[in-house]
Structure 1
Amino acid sequence: MNFLFAWRYFRSKKSTNAINIIAWISVLAIMVGTASFIVVLSVYNGFEDLVKSLYASFYTDLKVVPVKGKTIIFTPEELAKIKTVPGVDAYSLNVEEKALMRNGDWQSLVYLKGVDSDYTKVTSVKQHVRHGNYELGTADKPVAVLGVGVENALALEAEKALLPLTVYLPQKGETTDPLQSLAADNISTSGAFAIQEDFDNKYVITNIGFMQRMLHLQPDEYSAAEISLKAGANPDKVKRNLQAALGNKIDVTTRYEQNKTFFSAMQLEKWIIYGVLSLILTVAAFTMIGALTMLVLEKQKDIQILKALGTPDNKVQGIFLSEGLLLASVGGVGGVLLAVIICWAQEKFKIIALEGGSFVIDHYPVKLYASDVLLVLFTVIIVAMLASWFPSRKASLQPIELR
């Protein structure tokens, strides 16, 4: 019943055109606010997905690391158990250590990561080689693929370097002679990868045999095992099964846990954006107060007739609350449709480009989620109810003065 009155008041011609104009301005304000809300969240989602995909290119679904120390020994039986855990698609063993790389007078402190032949099965680093080739050499003749940031720091072109680099790695054990605490060797370069600054500026990939030789590790001694999962596998469930299969000497981390600070920061950023946009939407919805206040003044006689017929105050208040929700619904639905059109056009035609030309994409990415649309509509309804409360309360308190 309340919405029937609200719909009639919405459609009816007012005695003063200003009331109609203000009502449609409030609808337009909510529509623009809703569309802006959804578009901004969609652009954020697009960037978030892009960054997550870049991190997924380097970080695997699961990573098995030692609970204590830097290295862990995997027996053939334990490696066989990893492969048989349901959900595991492939695994790769690696040895990682900080190293100093020198190219003449240029030097850079890097993370030197030795990987096996299965590394390309669990990550897509090979697909991100910008120039040169993905070649890692052998234990005796090592070859490295550099991050483009490391390449720039060493002032070279990886695929064209005529002379090998010198790499210094820490020796195992304690020694009083600083010169004996480092192992040095030459390493050639084959190419450079570009994924994301966090990786490009500090990682160098080479073969695992070279790292084991330089660090004097046993043949079955590694830093970690990186694991990719089959499509649809639950990372948390596979993690529990791996932990049970390998015992307490290892710790299994998911991709989220490997980058917990980063992902938590991204979620916090999204909620901050939501808070700021909610304030903007609240300001836009305040035009509704003016529209409903004018409508209450316009319908004073109707209100008094309803009260004279025995309509309680809360019913009168409900009519004007429904009027506010109706205005918000029209604006909200219109805003959703407008946002969908904008996002579709941006995704299809790349209307708004990214300036600079140095990013991995050339346009603003968008990702429209139904959950975001529902959240925005819920926010619109809450804001509309708050904005409608004062005018509707004023209407319910109108005295009966029929003449």
Structure 2
Amino acid sequence: MNFSLYIAKRYLFSKTSNNAINIITIIASFGVIVGSLALFIILSGFSGLRTFSYSLLDVSDPDIKITSSKGKTFLYTEDIHHSLESNTSIKVISKIIEERVFLEYNDKNEIAYVKGVEENYTSITHVDSVVSVGNWLDKDLTNTAVVGNGISRKLSLGILNFGEPLSIMVPKPGIGFINPNNAFYKLNVQIVGLYSGTEEFENKFVFVSLKEAQDLLKFKENQFTGIELKLVDNSDADLFAEQLQEQLGNQFKVQTKEQLNEAMYKVLNTENFIIYLIFTLIVIVALFNVIGAILMMIIDKKSNLKTLLNLGATIQEIKKIFVLQGFLLTILGMFIGLVLGILLVIIQKQFGLFMITQNLPYPVEFRFSNLFIVIATITILGFIASKIASSRISNEFIEK
């Protein structure tokens, strides 16, 4: 066995005659355990929040969205249809119409977006899975709509209120004098469902059938504002979007889900990084206890070190003893902290001990990447702390 490692293990696991040093070592170990535990749980929590946030986007945004880069609308030609239908990476194609509209219900008004969708739209985003009250659009029913809970609250809307329909109005295009009594195209609809989601999503859309949106806006049969795509599993959305953009040309804009929600993705990634830095700082503070424990051990074992030096041990070998002792102390504390952290994450995921709301447990997610980050962080910082503590050893110090 390595000489320095053998003595380091003896120093770490054997009690000293000085109880103060034993207590300091226990405190240092506890600090590493808590630091490792906290860092892993925080990273797992943010991984869970990220996954939860992305799942909310899965019901509001498609994998790929195609819009016109010149104007609001475009004509869906045979060339476009053939380009999309022949692409093996595309699972579902759905044409949409989006337009900002004026909503009116019982003398209450609100600005929102009407979104006309095809029957297969629920295969694109699974928005029907978040309809909390009522049902999704039925192809056999006309003049019906599904609105967000946010819009419902603002307008005091209920479902199947046949006494008073929701009026969807859009200004008529044109120039010159506008008769205020005839300035809008209008569509009256009955609300058949309310959907939930992010705050922005709940306050944004009124879903109607594609045909009704075309009739409201007086669009041509092949005139749309966008095309939304569902890709086959395990497709590279970024690469696909780049290739499709080249294929369609600069008259179209092809965006991925991440590009559609660029601000949200940046916020999540930035928050995760900042929280990691904050808790790494906490770990660094905890490792000062390790430095203190090693320094106290060096002072306590000073006579032993002099004996080792006289027996032929070099200063570097003696320094290595305490580097290894601090490193082993850090690794042991990290291992215990990670075991506890993994158990807590699994328990939270299975049983939901901590709740955000009555029905929503705080999301966590076990990832090996988080495990690697914690191991790398604690190991590197623990090694540095041990090196700092052992640098106190010198010939002059031992001979004093």
Shorter-normalised TM-score: what interval? over 0.9
Q: 3-state SS of the aligned residue for 2:132? A: strand
Task: Give 1:96's aligned residue.
Answer: 98
Q: Deviations over 1:244-264 (max 9, x none)?
A: 332222111111001011101
Match of residue 237 from structure 2? 235
Report the CA distance between 1:298 and its aligned residue: 1.7
8 Å Cα contact 2:102/2:169 also seen in 1: yes
Provide the residue aligned with 1:168 in structure 2: 169
CA distance in 2 between counterparts of 1:327 and 1:397 reads: 25
Cross-structure match for 2:15: 13
Alpha-carbon distance in structure 1 between the residues aligned to 2:361 and 2:15:
46
Structure 1 position 181, deviation (Å): 4.7
Displacement after TM superposition at 1:80 (Å): 2.5
What is the match of residue 332 of structure 1?
334
1:273 equivalent to 2:244? Answer no
SS of the residue aligned with 2:200?
A: helix
1:184 and 2:207 matched: no
Please report the TM-score for the alignment, with normalisation by the length of structure 1. Answer: 0.93
1:377 aligns with 2:371: no
Say if 2:146 and 2:191, in contact at 8 Å, map to a contact too.
yes
> What code does the residue aligned with 2:35 have?
G
Q: Residues 1-400 of structure 1 correspond to what in structure 2 (within 5 A)?
A: 1=2, 2-135=4-137, 141-177=142-178, 179=180, 181-355=183-357, 357=358, 361-396=359-394, 398-400=396-398
Q: Note if contact 1:110-1:203 (Cα within 8 Å) is conserved in structure 2.
A: yes
Deviates more, 1:386-395 or 1:112-121: 386-395
Cα distance change on mapping 1:109 and 1:388 into 2, 3 Å: same
Relative to structure 1, the CA distance from residue 68 to residue 178 in structure 2 (aligned partners, 3 Å threshold; closer, same or farther) is farther
Structure 1, unmatched stretches of 5+, are none
Q: Secondary structure at the match of 1:168?
A: strand
Closer/same/farther in 2, CA of residues 399 and 111 from structure 1, 3 Å limit:
same
Amino acid at match of 1:369: R
Q: Residues of 1 paired with 2:322 and 2:115: CA distance?
A: 67
1:288 deviation in Å?
A: 1.0
- Residues of 2 paired with 1:181 and 1:30: CA distance? 69
Q: Encode CA deviations 1:183-237: one digit per residue, 9 max, x unaligned.
A: 2232222111112211111211001122222222221111110001111111123
The code of the aligned residue for 1:21 comes to I
SS in 1 for 2:363: coil
Give the 3 Å change call, closer, same or farther, for CA 307–164 of structure 1 in structure 2.
same
Q: Distance in 2 between matches of 1:205 and 1:253?
A: 21
Bigger shift: residues 270-279 or 154-163: 154-163
Instruction: Provide the rounded CA distance (Å) in 2 between the counterparts of 1:25 and 1:397.
Output: 30
Instruction: State the shift of 1:310 in Å.
Output: 4.8
Q: Is the 8 A contact 2:102 2:112 kept in 1?
A: yes
8 Å CA contact 1:151–1:158 kept in 2: the answer is no
Q: Which moved more, 1:229-238 or 1:330-339?
A: 229-238
Does the 8 Å contact 2:106/2:164 carry over to 1?
A: no
In the TM superposition, residue 144 of structure 1 has moved relative to its aligned partner by 0.8
Aligned with 1:14: secondary structure? Answer: coil
| 1:61 shift after superposition | 0.6
In structure 2, distance between residues paired with 1:306 and 1:343: 46
State the distance in 2 between where 1:161 and 1:196 align: 28
Which letter does structure 2 place at the counterpart of 1:50?
A: F
Q: Tell me how far 1:8 sits from its aligned partner.
A: 2.2
For 1:234 and 1:268, the matched residues in 2 are separated by 23
Q: TM-score, normalised by structure 2?
A: 0.93
Distance change in 2, residues 1:368/1:178 (3 Å): farther
Deviations 1:111-142 (A, max 9, x none): 11111112111111111111112126689x42
The 3-state SS of whatever aligns with 1:159 is: coil
- Contact 1:42/1:366 (<8 A) preserved: yes
2:137 aligns to what SS in structure 1?
A: coil
SS at match of 2:16: coil
Q: Which deviates more, 298-307 or 265-274?
A: 298-307
Q: Secondary structure at the match of 2:355?
A: coil
SS in 1 for 2:392: helix
* 1:400 to partner: Cα distance: 4.8
Letter in 2 for 1:182: F
Q: For 2:144, give the aligned amino acid.
A: V
Shift in alpha-carbon separation, 1:398–1:339, aligned structure 2, 3 A: farther
| Cα distance in 1 between the residues matched to 2:62 and 2:170 | 25
Query: Structure 2: any 5+ residue segments left out of the alignment?
Result: none
Cα distance in 1 between the residues matched to 2:353 and 2:35: 21
Q: Give the C-alpha shift of residue 161 in structure 1.
A: 4.3
- Spell out, residue by residue over 1:15-48, the C-alpha distance to the aligned partner (whole angstroms, 9 max, x if none): 2132222212211211111111111221221122
Distance of 1:365 and 1:397 partners within structure 2: 55
More displaced 10-residue stretch of structure 1: 160-169 or 200-209? 160-169
Q: Which amino acid aligns with 1:153?
A: K
The number of equivalent residue pairs is 397
